[in-house]
Amino acid sequence: MTKSPLIAVKADTRHQFRSFDVVMAAFVAILLLSNVIGAAKVSSLGGWEFGAGILFFPLGYVIGDVLTEVYGYARARRCIWVGFSALLFMAFMSWVVVSLPPAPGWTGQAAYESVFGQVPRIVFASIVAFWAGEFVNSYVLARMKIWTQGKHLWSRTIGSTIFGQGVDSLIFYPLAFWGVWDTSQVMTVLVTNWLLKVSWEVVLTPVTYLVVNKLKQHEGVDLFDEGTDFTPFKTQA
């Protein structure tokens, strides 16, 4: 069975996308679950300790790249704002629920606080870093797609991750831990985690190719962000 040829169009072209809502839902779901389930546990394999969320959080990078590559910067921008709002609500809900006094006889308050009672400074740093990093990632990928004329997808996914996760790490670790950890420790963890995230993107490149190609064939178009307004302060595609 031969593949249907893709139609190259500008990102502002009106087109009825069939799977955009599903991809956006997956993006937000992985974002929230990675912050709730994975972030609270430190694991150890072969003597190497790591946050358990690192195993699944990189899937969010793949979906973030897919959103911009397949659906364009403007639609990715909408997803980033939805994810940002969801993180804010999650942080607010966690604070309210943890702060409520436990019922007499209920012994789970300490365990509940250990999972959901995150330090406000860390929560703030995480949300700000996510917002800035995702927008840089999306912008770089969209620009590189034009420069490369839609070729060499690997260069866009890896290149955008280098810059996007660089901004994320440069914001998160100083905001969250400066003055709490030694300066050298902050910088070491910053660089180490940035390298780990970029490495994950490299490893997941075949998965990104597979998902992008499947979705492009499904949607029937290949979007280029020519003439796109790249301001992050809009929610309309």
Domain that holds residue 127: 7-100+116-224
**237 residues of the chain, pLDDT tens digit each:** 456 667 777 766 677 888 999 999 999 998 888 877 765 566 777 776 666 666 777 788 789 999 999 999 999 999 999 999 999 998 899 889 889 999 999 998 988 887 777 768 888 988 999 999 999 999 999 999 999 999 999 999 999 999 999 999 999 989 988 888 888 888 988 898 889 889 989 999 999 999 999 999 999 889 999 989 999 988 666
> Helices marked H in the chain — which ranges?
20-33, 58-71, 73-99, 109-116, 120-147, 153-177, 183-203, 205-219
User: Can you tell me the distance from the alpha carbon of 59 to that of 64, in angstroms, rounded to the nearest whole number?
Assistant: 9
Q: Examine residue 32 and state whether it is found in any structural domain, yes or no.
A: yes
Three-state secondary structure call for residue 61: helix
Q: What is the DSSP letter of 178?
A: B
Alpha-carbon dihedral angle through residues 69, 33, 126, 117, given to the nearest 10 degrees = 170
Q: Which residues pair with 224 in a beta bridge?
A: 10
Which of these, 184, 192, 235, lies nearest to 74 by C-alpha position? 235
User: Can you tell me the distance from the alpha carbon of 78 to that of 59, in angstroms, rounded to the nearest whole number?
Assistant: 19
Q: Which residues pair with 9 in a beta bridge?
A: 223
Given this model, what pLDDT does residue 1 score?
47
Check if the beta carbon of residue 177 is closer than 8 Å to that of residue 186: yes
Q: Examine residue 151 and state whether it is found in any structural domain, yes or no.
A: yes
For the chain, how big is the Rg over CA atoms in Å?
19
Residue 45, token pair as written in the block: 């394999």
Q: Examine residue 96 and state whether it is found in any structural domain, yes or no.
A: yes
Q: What is the pTM of this model?
A: 0.89
Q: Examine residue 72 and state whether it is found in any structural domain, yes or no.
A: yes
What CATH number is given to the structural domain containing 181? 1.10.1760
Buried b (16+ CB within 10 A) or exposed e, 21-49: eebbebbbebbebbbeebbeeeeeeeeee
> Which residues 6+ apart lie within 8 Å of 117 measured at CB?
94, 98
Check if the beta carbon of residue 173 is closer than 8 Å to that of residue 181: no
Domain count for the chain:
1
Give the total residue count for the chain: 237
Check if the beta carbon of residue 6 is closer than 8 Å to that of residue 198: no
Q: Examine residue 107 and state whether it is found in any structural domain, yes or no.
A: no
Check if the beta carbon of residue 216 is closer than 8 Å to that of residue 23: no
Q: Examine residue 230 and state whether it is found in any structural domain, yes or no.
A: no
Q: Examine residue 232 and state whether it is found in any structural domain, yes or no.
A: no
Which of these, 185, 235, 205, 192, lies nearest to 85 by C-alpha position? 235
Q: Examine residue 229 and state whether it is found in any structural domain, yes or no.
A: no
Looking only at the bridges linking them, the beta strands covering 7-10 and 42-45 are unpaired
